[in-house]
Each structure stands twice: as C-alpha cells, then as structure tokens.
Structure 1
Amino acid sequence: MGTISLGSRSEILRCTGTVDLRVPADPAYLAMVRTATAGLATRLDLTLDEIEDLRIAVDEACSLLLQGRAHAGRAIHAGFEVGPPGSGTLSILITGPLDRLPEGNSYAWSVLQALAGKVVTGSGENGAWIKLTYVGRGDQ
C-alpha cells in the first residue's frame, strides 16, 4: 500500500504484488522464469539459500510441465504473488502445455516437494499447472 499526492488531495494505492510472466514453452527460456523468481524472492528479504531453493523448485516445476522438450507455439505462464511485507510468502502458479502432469514419484517431484514448501497440482482448459507456495523467514 502506498500514498500518492495529487495536488491538494491524496489517494491510497493498494499494490497487489502480482507479476505475470509468459515465455515460450521451450527449456531455453526457463532462465527467465528462474531470474524472475529470484528477483521477487529478494523483495521478501529471503536468505541466499532460500532464494536458490526457490529457483531450483521453479526450474523443476517448469521442467515437469515441459517434459524436457520444446512445445512449438505454446507457452509457459508463471503468475507470482508476493505476500504482504514481513510474511516471507511467495506463491507461484505455473501453467504449461501438457494436458496432465507425469507421475509424482520421480526425482524431480522429490526435489520440488522438498524445496518449495506447499505444492498443489492440477489441470484445466489451459493445460496442467503447479502451484508453489513458499513461506520463508521474511523480514523477521
């Protein structure tokens, strides 16, 4: 939340703390999603280890949604929601081109669940999705 002055009056602005990123569904573009994750995680005052854990978790989620290959004409959509100051919360909803996700017993799933905090998955009309909710130490 912030305040903006317009001459003699003030308005209160509420920042939603959301960022949407769409990149081609190609492993070559995953660095952009990892970089956006790290940039937003730094706003939460997370440690370097926490930031790296999130980057790895997002990379694994994207890799699962791509199954290691490019999908011409399709996209990976990552929606980031930064929690309120002091919460240390970052939620990331990643949607990919697959109709459904691969089985949840692979190494990638193990890494994802160990590093990301809460992991929820599903599929919809726009493809399969993975939602990661990470709660770090925040501004404590």
Structure 2
Amino acid sequence: MVTLVSFGNGRTAHRNNPARSAWSWKGVGTISLGSRSETVRSTDTVDLRVPADPAYLAMIRTATAGLATRLDLTLDEIEDLRIAVDEACSLLLRGRSHPGEVLTAGFEVGPPGSGTLSILITGPLSRLPEGQGYAWSVLRALAGEVVTGVGEHGAWIKLTYVGRGDQ
C-alpha cells in the first residue's frame, strides 16, 4: 500500500485538491494590493495517509512531533501531543490491523505566533468505542480540545492544541 503525504501553504495551495482535503478552506483569505488581489493561506496543512495498521502509528507520531516543534513547544508538550495522537489512533484502530483500509491524519498548523495545532484523524471504524476508559482520559488530559464524530469515511477524532506560541 502507498503512503500519501501532501503539504499545503501559501506557496503550494494551488496544488491542493479541496475535495480531498481533510480541512475546510477556513484558513484561506484574500489580500488586496491596489488593483491586484491574491489568495493566501494563513495556516499550513499536512495530510498523511497510512495503512490502517498499528505498525504505521510511528509515522503519525513522528509527524506530530515534527510539526509541534514549529510551535516552539517544550519537549514535554511535544511528547504529550505524541501520546495523545497515539491514543487517538489506537482508538480508531481498536488495537488491530484493518487490511485494505487507511488511517488519515490531517494536521493544520496555525499562523506563526498562534501556537495552534489541530489534528484530524480518521480511521476505518464505523463508530468509536465508548468515551470512557484510559485512552479517553489521556486524550482529554493531554490534547486540549477533543471533538469526535462519524463521517462517510469512518469515525474521526479532532485534537486541537493551543500552546505558548511565540510568547
């Protein structure tokens, strides 16, 4: 199975296909420069699609840590995010492989100075396990805001972390 990674920012937004993105285009705005106007992205996005197998969770944890470093977080904050993402992915896989299915992680890094990182993880399950237990406690304690749901492509968990930014 092929692993897909795509990136988007103000310089590469023209390459993104909005129909395939995990994010709405809320981070896109228009700047007017006299008679000229340009569309710019106030956030950067990274979409990562891996096989729905626990063996690939290290890739998502590593991407989380790499993107979190852009927010000038402490090592403890970065590790907390890695753990939260790992727990979210484990919930979406229920600890087992799903051959032929994918696990998608969409990262949205807020504008410089915002300290915001949103992570939307979608898995192959048609519904999430109950909201109780150790994994849910870890998510609520480490990830800031946690929102869940079920869409046409499976169950999803969105984690939004607001760190120190450029304070």
Higher relative contact order (CA closer than 8 Å, sequence separation 6+): 1
The list of structure 1 runs, each at least 4 consecutive aligned residues, that deviate by more than 4 angstroms after superposition, is none
- Give CA deviations for 1:105-137 in whole Å, capped at 9, x if unaligned: 110000011000000000011000000000011
TM-score by length of 2: 0.76
Percentage identity across aligned positions?
83
Question: Map of 1:1-140 to 2, 5 A cutoff?
Answer: 14-15=40-41, 16-140=43-167
TM-score by length of 1: 0.90
Aligned length: 133
Gaps (5+ residues) in structure 1? 4-10
Gaps (5+ residues) in structure 2? 1-8, 12-36
Q: Which has the higher helix share?
A: 1
| Structure 2 residue aligned with 1:8 | none
Q: CA RMSD in A?
A: 1.7
